Amino acid sequence: MAGTKKLIGPFRQVVSMTGLSLKGAISDTELTVISDAGILITDGNVNAIGKFSRLLNNFKETDTEIVHLEGDHVCLPGLVDAHTHICYGGSRAKDYALRNSGKTYLEIAKAGGGIWDTVTQTRKATKDKLAEHTVNLAKRHLKNGTTTLEVKSGYGLSIDEELKMLYAIKEANEILPVDLIPTCLAAHMLPKDYKGSEEDYLAEIGNLLFPKLREEDLTHRIDAFIEENAFSAEQIGPYFKKAREMGFDITVHADQFSTGGSKVAIQFDALSADHLEASTQKEIGLLAKSNVIATALPGASLGLGCNFTPARKILDAGGALAIASDHNPGSAPMGDLLTQAALLGAFEKLSHAEVLAGITFRAAAALNLSDRGLLAKGYLADLVIFRTSDYSEILYHQGNLKPCMVWKNGELIFDRQKD
C-alpha cells in the first residue's frame, strides 16, 4: 500500500551486509553489526536502520505501524539462492542409492538414469502440476529464510517442454510471496530422442526458443551444462554468442567434473560460473581476474559425496564467491541453503562474513539484482530473523537454528509460531 510505514524492532543485532567488497576475502570484523536496532520500512523498502529507541521516539506519534519484538532477535537480509532446479517431476531416490553403492553420477547417466530420467518424468507432468510442485519446494526454502530463488528449466529439452517448464515457473512465481528468477537451461544435455547432433539441437533452440523467451518475457537468462555427457565448450560457443547478441545474461554449469566451462563463462562475460569442484589454480586465477561470480554448490558435493568447490582458494585469489543450493532431484536433493553454506564454511575455512556474503549480496550480484542482498536505505525490505542474541550463533548451529520470521517487500510472509 502506498505510503505505509512500519518500524520493526528492537533487534539485538541487524547485520546489514553493507560496505563489503564484491570480490575477495572478508573478515568478520568488517561486518556492520547494528545493535539494539530498529528497521523503518516504507512501501516495502528499507527507509532507515538505527537505534530502535530513537526511531520509536520519532515515529510513535505518526501513522507508522510498530512491530514490537519481545526477546532476542537477530536480522539478516533475506537469503538469495542463485541456483536451483526445483521445477521437476518424479524422484531420483534410486540414483542416490546407486551412487551410495558405488556407481558414479556419469555412469548412472550413461545407463539411462540421471538427468534423462527426470526429463521423462517432467514431460509426463502437466504445467499446473509442475507449478504446484515448484510452489511446495519454494515454500520450504522461504521457511528457511530464502526470499529470492533462481529456478532453471532444463528437464523439458524440447521447445514445447522447455516452454511448459518456464510457464510453470512463471505461474509459481505469481502464487508465491518470494521472487523466483527463471533461467533457461535447454542446454542441459542432448535429449535422447533428438534426431540430430548437439550442434543441430543448440541451433534449433537458439533459433526457435530464444525468440519465444523474449516475446513471452519468460526469462532473460541462459545457462548451459559444459561437461562430458553434456555439451563441449566448442559446441556452446555459437549458442552463447547468439544468446549474447539477443541480450540474454549468461550463466554456466562449469568445471563440475572436468575443466573447460569456466573459461567459456569468462569468454562470454557470464554473470556466474557455478559448480567449479574440478577447477584448478589456473581456472581459479582466471575467474578471480574476471567479473564472473564463482558460485559454489555444496548441496551437489553433499548429494554426490564428492569434494567441495575450492571456495577458500577462490576468495584468496580475489574472486567473488556466491553459495547456492543447486536443489535438484538428482545431485542435490537436500535443498537447505543455510545448512549447506554453513558446512561449506566449516570445511573450506570461510569466515562467517564470507559465508553470509555468499548467500546475500554476492548471490544477488550473480543474478544481476542490485536492489537486494543487503539492508540499507532504498533496498528491498527482505528480512530473515532468528531468535538469538548474536549473529555468530546462526552458522554455528549449521542450519539447525531456523528463522522465526521472514519478511518480503516489507510484509511478514512467515511466522514460525503460527506455522
Output the smallest distance, CB 68 to ligand NIG, in A: 43
Q: What are phi and psi of 129, to 5 degrees?
A: -65, -40
| Residues binding Fe ion: number (CB under 5 A) | 1
Q: Residue 211: which H helix or E strand, with range?
A: helix 210-215
Q: Which of 306, 320, 313 is nearest to 266 (CA)?
A: 320
Output the smallest distance, CB 13 to Fe ion, in A: 33
CB-nearer residue toward ligand NIG: 330 or 373: 330
Site membership for ligand NIG, residue 264 (CB under 6 A): no
Output the smallest distance, CB 119 to ligand NIG, in A: 9
Which grid cell is 174? 505469481
Site membership for ligand NIG, residue 325 (CB under 6 A): no
* Identified binder of ligand NIG from the candidate list 81, 283, 326, 336, rule CB under 6 A: 326
Site membership for ligand NIG, residue 225 (CB under 6 A): yes
Residue 28 CA to residue 401 CA, distance in Å, equals 20
Site membership for Fe ion, residue 150 (CB under 5 A): no
**What contacts 24+ positions apart, CB below 8 Å, involve 334-337?**
334/299, 334/302, 334/303, 335/84, 335/86, 335/137, 335/140, 335/141, 335/299, 336/144, 336/299, 336/399, 337/79, 337/81, 337/141, 337/144, 337/145, 337/146, 337/299
Which grid cell is 232? 563441449
Residue 65 CA to residue 62 CA, distance in Å, equals 9
List the x/- string, 99-138, binding to ligand NIG by CB under 6 A. ---------------xx--x--------------------
Output the smallest distance, CB 377 to Fe ion, in A: 35
Angle at CA 105, nearest 5°, toward 254 and 138?
Answer: 70
Site membership for ligand NIG, residue 253 (CB under 6 A): yes
- Candidates 131-139, 309-317, 320-328, 338-346 — which segment interacts with Fe ion by CB under 5 A? 320-328
Which grid cell is 338? 543455510
CB-nearer residue toward ligand NIG: 6 or 99: 99
Which grid cell is 292? 564472473
- Candidates 139-147, 159-167, 172-180, 318-326 — which segment interacts with Fe ion by CB under 5 A? 318-326
Site membership for ligand NIG, residue 328 (CB under 6 A): yes
In the beta sheet, which residues pair with residue 406?
384, 414
Helices and strands: H and E segment counts in the chain: 17, 16
Site membership for Fe ion, residue 326 (CB under 5 A): yes
Output the smallest distance, CB 274 to ligand NIG, in A: 7
Site for ligand NIG in 293-312 (CB under 6 A): 300
DSSP letter at 375 equals: -
Site membership for ligand NIG, residue 164 (CB under 6 A): no
- In contact, 104 and 44? CB cutoff 8 Å: no
* Identified binder of ligand NIG from the candidate list 6, 23, 85, 221, rule CB under 6 A: 85
Residue nearest to ligand NIG (CB): 330
Site membership for ligand NIG, residue 329 (CB under 6 A): yes
Output the smallest distance, CB 297 to ligand NIG, in A: 6
Residue 52 CA to residue 391 CA, distance in Å, equals 18
Output the smallest distance, CB 108 to ligand NIG, in A: 9
Q: Provide the binding-site residues for ligand NIG, judged by CB under 6 A.
A: 85, 114-115, 118, 225, 253, 256, 300, 326, 328-332
User: Which residues lie near Fe ion (CB under 5 A)?
Assistant: 326
